Structures are given as structure tokens and as C-alpha cells.
């Protein structure tokens, strides 16, 4: 039994290494339903993802998930959060990183994971989050003439107009 947040030695070791690497950029960790979520400062995101890929074997990006916490998310909370699902296939580990967007922008991780290319474009399209450093940030699903970002909570289901 490990005394880390998850109680699983391998996952705890990964978390401990990440915490040591990122230092005070780690804002917290939650373990629920067998999944570890590590909340990071946006500024430290790219370094953390690269560290996990290079040192801890989290070589595969499974998915990127955009979240809208509502137009008025409350004190101390950013409106948009992006989750990163990472895999370590050899150890069969999954880890989820969470980063709040400051000023509707986040650093891009395309330089680390190629798979993030379209995923970031999708989040840009759906939420209007900009990814700094993305080589080609355009809408992916909707027409360039489309106005608004549909997955924002204040966007009506049937569109405007």
C-alpha cells in the first residue's frame, strides 16, 4: 500500500515524479473512479506533458477534452478547462491532466504529441479557446463563416439566426 493519493504504487510513483518535476505548478490531485486527475498551471503544461512522455512512458495522448464551466464560473475559477488523457501503454496506466485557460488561451502541446493537432483545433472550434503555438489553428468542423462557438454554455442549441 502506497501513501500517495491513489493507493496504487505505479500511479503514485508517476504522480510523485510529476509533482517533483513541476513543483508548485501542481495545484492538486484528485483520485476518483480509478482515475487520477492532476490539476496543473497552464504555464507548466507543456513541460509536464513532455516530462511524462520522455521520462515516465506516457507516450500516447488518448484525447483532449474541453470544458465550459459556465459564463460565471465563480470565484477563483477560470471559465474554460482542458483535460488531457495520457496513456502509458507499457505499464497500462492512465493519467488525466487538467489545466484552466487563462484569458481563453492555453499553450499548445502539438510539439510534444502530434495527435493533439486536430484535438486542439476541435476545442478551438467548439469553445473558442486559442492554443498558443499551434501551427494551423482554424475551425475544423464548422464553416469559417460560422459565428460563435457551439459548446459554450451560452450558445443556444439551435443556433443563432
Please, which residue, 43 or 142, has the CB nearer to other proteins? 142
Q: Does 118 bind other proteins (CB under 8 A)?
A: yes
Q: At its nearest, how many Å lie between other proteins and the CB of residue 21?
A: 21
Cα separation of 161 and 159, whole Å? 6
Segment 41 to 80, residues that bind other proteins, using CB under 8 A: 59-63, 65-68
In three-state form (DSSP H/G/I as H, E/B as E, the rest C), the secondary structure along the chain is CCCCCCCCHHHHHHHHHHHHHHHHHEEEEEEECCEEEEEECHHHHHHHHHHHHHHCCCCEEEEEEEEECCCCCCCCCCCEEEEEEEEECCCCEEEEEEEECCCCEEECCCCCCCCHHHHHHHHHHHHCCEEECCCCCCCCCCCCCCCCCCCCCCCCCCCCC
Q: At its nearest, how many Å lie between other proteins and the CB of residue 45?
A: 18
Please, which residue, 35 or 132, has the CB nearer to other proteins? 35
| List 56, 79, 113, 134, residue binding other proteins (CB under 8 A) | 113
Q: At its nearest, how many Å lie between other proteins and the CB of residue 134?
A: 14
Please, which residue, 44 or 119, has the CB nearer to other proteins? 119
Q: Does 115 bind other proteins (CB under 8 A)?
A: yes
Binding mask 24-43 for other proteins (x = CB under 8 A): --------xx-x-x------
| List 8, 21, 39, 139, residue binding other proteins (CB under 8 A) | 139
Amino acid at each position: 500500500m502506497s501513501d500517495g493519493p491513489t493507493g496504487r504504487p505505479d500511479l503514485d510513483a508517476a504522480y510523485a515524479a510529476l509533482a517533483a518535476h513541476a513543483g508548485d505548478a501542481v495545484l492538486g490531485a484528485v483520485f476518483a473512479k480509478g482515475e487520477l486527475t492532476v490539476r496543473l498551471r497552464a504555464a507548466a503544461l507543456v513541460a509536464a506533458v513532455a516530462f511524462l512522455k520522455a521520462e515516465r512512458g506516457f507516450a500516447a495522448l488518448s484525447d483532449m477534452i474541453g470544458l465550459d464551466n459556465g459564463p460565471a464560473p465563480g470565484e477563483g475559477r477560470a471559465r474554460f478547462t482542458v483535460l488531457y488523457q495520457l496513456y502509458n501503454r507499457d505499464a497500462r496506466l492512465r493519467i488525466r491532466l487538467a489545466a484552466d485557460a487563462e484569458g481563453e488561451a492555453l499553450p499548445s502541446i502539438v510539439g510534444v504529441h502530434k495527435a493533439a493537432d486536430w484535438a486542439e483545433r476541435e476545442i478551438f472550434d467548439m469553445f473558442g479557446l486559442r492554443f498558443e503555438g499551434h501551427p494551423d489553428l482554424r475551425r475544423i468542423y464548422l464553416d469559417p463563416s460560422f459565428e460563435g462557438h457551439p459548446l459554450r454554455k451560452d450558445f443556444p442549441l439551435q443556433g443563432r439566426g
